[in-house]
Homo-oligomer: A and B are copies of this chain.
Amino acid sequence: MALTRDDVLTGALAILDEYGLGDLTMRRLAGSLGVQPGALYWHVANKQALLGAIADRILDGLDGGLPVGDWDTRITELAHRLRAALLAHRDGAEVVAAAYALQTGRGQTVRLMTEVLADAGLDETEAELAALTLLHYVFGHTADEQSHAQAAEHEPAGAPGALASGTARFGFGLSVFVDGLRARLV
């Protein structure tokens, strides 16, 4: 039963989740799959391509069933979903941010955000810039959360002080951004 490209990606995600990006090496991955390092290069061009494919997996299904409503609730929902997707895997923000930086295309996430913001009334250029700005915020905030990570895995339901929880802290910055955009639209 030969190895599948899918097996390789799944194995890589498993190592990422359990040991983190620093321990995700081609040799270690090969070992966990019971195969020689060189074998991986039959399924994947190189490590960079592997990380790109992992990033795609992490972001998969991000845009399913977006609520129809005001632009601000839609963009807020998108941002929260992106953060959740990144938080779902150890070092997820770092992996996806690194993969994104290399491709100017940037996948559909930016396109979707741009679309929502253009609908809101921004012109094409501003909408795309605003989408990138938001993306940077989500990546930066989430990477921060994950680097200070470990504990506080699942936030307790009755959170303590005002902006203690990660979600609340994230929401604050997000609302500043949305407020700023609103000011530009009136």
Contact = CB atoms under 8 A, between A and B. Distances in A.
Interface of A: 101-102, 104, 125-126, 129-130, 132-133, 135-137, 139-141, 143-144, 147-148, 161-163, 169, 172-173, 175-184
25 contacts: A101-B143, A101-B147, A104-B148, A125-B162, A125-B163, A126-B163, A130-B176, A132-B141, A132-B144, A133-B137, A133-B141, A133-B177, A135-B140, A136-B137, A136-B139, A136-B140, A139-B140, A176-B177, A176-B181, A179-B179, A179-B180, A179-B183, A179-B184, A180-B180, A180-B181
A103 to B, nearest CB: 10
Q: Is the interface of A mostly helix, strand, loop or mixed?
A: helix
Contact of A172 (B129, B161, B175): B129
Contacts of A132: 141, 144, 173
Nearest to A147: B101
A93 to B, nearest CB: 10
A144 B140 CA distance: 12
Given A125-B162, A176-B180, A180-B178, A144 B133 contact: no
A177 to B, nearest CB: 6
Nearest to A164: B125
Contacts of A180: 175-181, 183
A180 B179 CA distance: 5
Contacts of A182: 183
Across chains A and B, which 7 residue pairs bring their CB atoms closest together, nearest first?
Answer: A136-B140, A180-B180, A133-B173, A176-B180, A179-B180, A179-B183, A101-B147
